[in-house]
Amino acid sequence: MSIWAEAGAVIPAIFAGSAWKMREAFYTDGMWVVCFFITLIGGILANQFFKRLPFMDRHLERGIAVATYLMIAAIIFWGVIDRFIFSSQWSGSTTVPPFLFMIMAWFGCSYNVRLRTHLSFSEFRANMKPKGQMAALTLDGVLWFGFCWIAITTSLRFTAYSADNFQLVDGVDNTMKWWFYITVPVAFILMSGRVVGNWLDDWKNYKAGNQIIQTAVIGGEV
């Protein structure tokens, strides 16, 4: 079967609603083709979403990150009290927090891509000519896009695998692992939107002759 035929089988498998069919379709080379377009189109749509809803642009990812962080803290806090005061312990107190941490980490990563707080050698790039700066920022965008593409593809595969095997969160009844795993491709689609938005901002500054390299501040505002 050609890679295009494999790609064509992915969409019907999704709409079939069968975890087994999705797992079979996702673990083919055609899945890379489908996820390339998911990453690209999803990034463009996510960028438009953030542009049209400034409140979400400022608060969506960090709101999710803060909420999950507080949930982790509450679970651990109650787990300590439950263990040492009531001599009991909820079986999910050590298994649920890692899944929440995963959500916090990837949505927080998406927001920090927007803030450009990753290692970018800004001091070195600021001394380059505008064309060199734009080339370096374009390389950043390509690398981040590739990272999103890989993460979306592999996380969707693992999500389908988990759903097909009915994997439950250890120590918790009726809570599936894939409910948490599915947030990973969502976070990376938002991240691809941040990549698109950053590059468009850079291109606009480049064409207008404005300063291209901006100073990044950890925990700053968009």
In a domain, 71, yes or no: yes
Give a yes or no: residue 97 inside a domain: yes
- DSSP letters, 125-174, are HTTS-HHHHHHHHHHHHHHHHHHHHHHHHHHHHHHHHHHHTTPBPTT-TT
pLDDT at 1: 67
Calculate mean pLDDT across residues 34-53.
Answer: 97
pLDDT of residue 90 exceeding 80, the answer is yes
Helix (H) or strand (E) holding 58: helix 54-84
Determine what percent of the chain is predicted with pLDDT higher than 70. Answer: 96
Say what the pLDDT of residue 216 is. Answer: 64
What does pTM read for this prediction?
0.91
Is 90 exceeded by the pLDDT of residue 40? Answer: yes
Range of the domain at 127: 3-208
Q: Is 214 inside a domain boundary? A: no
Backbone torsion region of residue 179, taken as left when φ is above 0, otherwise alpha when ψ lies between -120 and 50, otherwise beta: alpha
- pLDDT recorded at residue 222: 54
* 77/79 Cα distance (integer angstroms): 5
Please check whether residue 75 lies inside any domain of the structure: yes
What is the average per-residue pLDDT within 162-168?
93
Q: Is residue 218 included in any domain, yes or no?
A: no
Number of domains in the chain: 1
Residue 174: what pLDDT?
A: 85
Q: What is the mean pLDDT of residues 199-217?
A: 84
- In this predicted model, what pLDDT tens digit does every residue of 101-155 receive, in sequence order? 999 999 999 999 998 887 777 778 878 898 999 999 999 999 999 999 999 999 9
**Does a structural domain hold residue 168?**
yes
Residue 217: pLDDT band with limits 50, 70, 90? low
Q: Is residue 124 part of a domain?
A: yes
pLDDT exceeds 60 at position 200: yes
The Cα-based distances of 185 to 93, 150, 180, 217 in angstroms read: 25, 10, 10, 26
pLDDT over 90, % of the chain: 70
Measure Cα distances from 85 to 72, 97, 102, 222 in Å: 20, 21, 29, 44
The mean of the pLDDT values for the chain is 91
pLDDT band at residue 49, thresholds of 50, 70 and 90?
very high
User: Is residue 88 in some structural domain?
Assistant: yes
Q: Are 167 and 178 a contacting pair, CB within 8 Å? A: yes
Question: Other C-beta atoms within 10 Å of 207: how many?
Answer: 10
60 band by pLDDT with thresholds 50, 70 and 90: very high
